[in-house]
Chains A and B, each alone.
Chain A
Amino acid sequence: MNAPLIETRNLKKYFKTPRGNLHAVDGVNLSIQRGQTLGVVGESGCGKSTLGRSILRLIEPSGGEVLYNGEDILKWDKSHMRELRKHMQLIFQDPYASLNPRMTVSEIISEPIKVCRTLTNQKDINDKVFELMETVGLAERFVNTYPHELDGGRRQRIGVARALALDPEFIVCDEPVSALDVSIQAQILNLMMDLQEARGLTYMFITHDLSVVKHISNEIAVMYLGQCVERAPSDELFNNPLHPYTKALLDAIPVPNLKHRGKERVAIHGEVTSPIDPKPGCRFAGRCPYAKPECTAENLRLEEVNEGHFVSCVLY
C-alpha cells in the first residue's frame, strides 16, 4: 500500500458545554489514499461535519493527530498552515448560505486566488475564473451575476469552482448535494466524479444519504456519536454490513423498487443518546437489538474482521 494522503490517529474534538464535555469526535482513525474517495455517513449530530472541519483545522482538534503526506499538521504554525490550505479545500452543504450575497460570481471564485496570491495579474485571474467556470459547467454570461440570481444547482457549481481555484489535492465535501433536487443532485455528482478523474482529486465525502455515498465512494466509514463504528470498502459494506447500526441504517433506506415493499426490516427504536460525557462502552448499545452486558463494560476498538473491513462491536 502507498502512504495515504490523509490520515487521522485517535482524533478527538470535545466541546465544553455547561453540562459537561460534548464528545463530537471521539478517537477516530481513518486514512484516505491519494485519488480516492472516503465516504463518511451518519445521522445528524454524529460528528461528521466536525470531523471534516477538524481535519482541515478549521476547528482546532482537542487531541490526536492529523497526518498530511505523513506529517502531523496539528503541530504546524500559522504561516505553514496557510501554505497548506491551498491544497485542502471545503465544499459546503448549503449553496444558499455559503456564498456571500454581496459578491459577484467572479469575485467569489477569485477570492481564494487573491487571498493566497497565487496569481497577481488581473488578466490572469480573469482567465482563471473563466477556465474554472467552464470546468464546472457555468456559462460565461453568469460571471457578473450575484448568487441570488441563480438556482441551487448553479450556486453549488460556484462552490465547487471556488474550491478548485487553488488547484487543491484534497477536498472535504460536506453534504454538497443534500440541499438539491434529485435531477440537479445527479448533475453535481457527475461533475464531481469527472473532476476527480481529470485532476486526481482526493475527496472526503460527508453525507447522510447512503445511495449517494455508495455511488461516489471507494471506502465508507460509518459514524455513530463521534465514533467510527465500521469502515470497509464500499461494496463490502453494502454486501456484508456487520455492525448492527450499519445494518439498521441500510435497512432504513427507502428503495425505489416495489419488490422491497412491505419487507420486514431490522427497525431500531429510540433515538440517539446525548453525546455529553457518554458512558464507556458501545454508544449504540441502548438502541441495539443484540445488546449484551459486555457491550457497556469497556470501550471498544475497531477490529479488522475481513481484509480491509473494520468494525467495533462485541459480536465480532
Chain B
Amino acid sequence: MADKLLEIKDLSVEYHTDDGTVYAVNGLDLTVEKGQVLGLVGETGAGKTTMALSILRLLPERIGKITKGDIYLDGIDIVHCSEADMKLIRGNKASMIFQDPMTSLNPILTVGDQIAEVLELHNRDQSKEEIQKRVDEMLSLVGISPERKNDYPHQFSGGMKQRVVIAIALACTPELLLADEPTTALDVTIQDQVLHMMRELKEKLDSAMILITHDLGVVANNCDSVAIMYAGEIIEYGRVEDIFESENRHPYTVGLFNSIPDLTQKTKRLKPIEGLMPDPSNLPSGCTFHDRCPHCMEQCKTMKPLAVTSGTHMVRCHLFEKSGKDTVV
C-alpha cells in the first residue's frame, strides 16, 4: 500500500434544520493515497459535497455537525484540531475547486489579487515581488496570459474563470485537491480542455485529487479509483477497472450505467433506476437502496448490508455476501 494521505473513518454528518434532522453522511469510510485521483460519483443529495466540506471543516456553522468519526489528513486529526490550525490547512495542504466558477470568484477583486490573497495568507514572509511573480507563474500554468491579472472576473468566459479558480486552488501546491464538479457548468470542448489541464497539473505538482462528479465518462478518463456514493454512504469502491468492467457490481452502479445513452450502441429505451433518491431526513431501513433495487430480497429491508471486499473491490450489498467472496469485513 502506498502512503495514505487522507483517511476518513466512520464519518457521520448531520444538518439540524427547522424541518428536522438531515442525515447527509452516514458512517463513511474512505482513504486516498498520495498522488491518487479518486472519482466520487453520486446523484444530487448523495452527500458528496457535504463530505468534501467536512474534510475542510467548511460545514455551515450551527446547522452542520460532524456527529461521529475521524478524518486524518496526512496524520492531522481534522475533526479535533483548532480553527487556527484549520486556517493553515485550508488552501495550503488541501484546497477546493467549487462547481460554479461564476459565483465562486469575488466580482470586485481582480483575478491577480484573488490568487495573491491565498499566497499572502500562507507565505507571510514573502515579499510583494515574489508573490506577484508567483501569481504570473500560476496564471501561465493554467493557460492565461499574465497580462490579464488586472482584469476582473466578468471580463473572462466561463472556461477562463474556472481556470482562475483552479489557479487559486493550486497556488500553494496542496497535497489534496477537492474538485467539486469542476466542469459541470462548462461546455464539452471547454470541459475537455480543463480536465486535460488538471491532469497535467496533477502530474506536475504530484497532488492527490478527489474528483466529485456525476458524469461516469469524466471518471473513466481521469480517475484511478472510484467511490460510488448513495444516501451518505460509499456503496461501492474500487479501481476504475473494478467499477467499469467487473461482473459483481452494486445494482445502483449498474442502474447508473444503464441510465446513460450509449453512443456506440443503438438502444430503443433506456433502463433507468425506478423511483427517486431517498429523502435524507427520512432514510429507509436496512439497505438504503432497497425500495429502488430490482434485486431486493427480504433481508435487504431490515438488515444493513456489510462491506464485501475482494481484492481492491468493495461492494455493500446482500447479493454478494454469500457468493464465495474472499473476505467479509
Contacts and interface: CB of A to CB of B under 8 A. Distances in A.
A268 B189 contact: yes
Most chain A CB atoms below 10 A, which of B189, B257, B270: B189
Interface string B213-239: 011111111000000000000000000
Nearest to B160: A271
B200 to A, nearest CB: 12
B282 interface: no
Interface string B232-250: 0000000011001100000
Interface stretch (B26-34, B123-131, B145-153, B271-279): B271-279
B140 interface: no
B267 interface: yes
Interface string A165-198: 0000000000000000111111101100100000
Given A182-B43, A215-B270, A43 B187 contact: yes
Interface in B272-294: 272-273, 276-277
A105 B192 CA distance: 40
B157 interface: yes
A183 B261 contact: no
Interface in A193-238: 193, 208, 210-212, 214-215, 235, 238
A130 B92 CA distance: 57
A185 B215 CA distance: 13
A256 B261 contact: no
Contact of B272 (A152, A183, A210, A254): A183
A190 B192 contact: no
Contacts of B264: 255, 257
A252 interface: yes
A261 to B, nearest CB: 6
Interface string B177-209: 000000000011111110110000000000000
A182 B259 contact: yes
A151 interface: yes
A187 B274 CA distance: 8
A258 B241 contact: yes
A118 to B, nearest CB: 31
A261 B193 contact: no
Nearest to B222: A254
Contacts, number: 116
B275 to A, nearest CB: 9
Contact of A215 (B43, B218, B256, B267): B267
Contacts of B195: 254
A271 B157 contact: yes
B188 A256 contact: no
Nearest to B244: A258
A151 B219 CA distance: 26
Interface residues of B, number: 46
B263 A184 contact: no
Nearest to A287: B189
Majority secondary structure, B binding face: helix
B263 A254 contact: no
Nearest to A213: B261
B122 to A, nearest CB: 31
B217 A256 contact: yes
Contacts of A272: 157
B276 A258 contact: no
A260 B264 CA distance: 12
B64 interface: no
Contacts of A260: 220-221
Given A256-B216, A271-B159, A193 B269 contact: yes
Given A181-B43, A190-B272, A254-B217, A211 B261 contact: yes
Contact of B260 (A252, A256, A265, A271): A256
Contact of A183 (B190, B219, B255): B255
B219 A256 contact: yes
B220 A186 contact: no
B44 interface: yes
Contacts of B266: 235
B264 to A, nearest CB: 8
Contacts of A256: 216-217, 219-220, 244, 257, 260
Contact of A258 (B157, B187, B191, B245): B245
A275 to B, nearest CB: 13
A187 B189 contact: no
B43 A183 contact: yes
B18 interface: no
Contacts of A38: none
A181 B220 contact: no
A117 interface: no
Given A187-B272, A271-B157, 10 more contacts: A182-B260, A186-B259, A186-B260, A214-B263, A249-B188, A251-B192, A254-B191, A254-B221, A257-B244, A258-B244
Interface of A: 43-44, 151-153, 181-187, 189-190, 193, 208, 210-212, 214-215, 235, 238, 248-249, 251-258, 260-262, 265, 267-269, 271-272
Interface of B: 43-44, 157-160, 187-193, 195-196, 214-221, 240-241, 244-245, 255-264, 266-267, 269-273, 276-277
20 contacts: A152-B44, A153-B276, A182-B260, A186-B260, A187-B272, A189-B270, A208-B188, A210-B188, A210-B263, A214-B263, A215-B267, A249-B188, A252-B189, A254-B195, A254-B221, A256-B216, A258-B241, A261-B220, A267-B193, A271-B190
Q: Which 9 interchain pairs have the tightest Cβ spacing? A: A254-B217, A186-B272, A215-B261, A256-B216, A186-B259, A43-B187, A252-B192, A186-B270, A181-B43
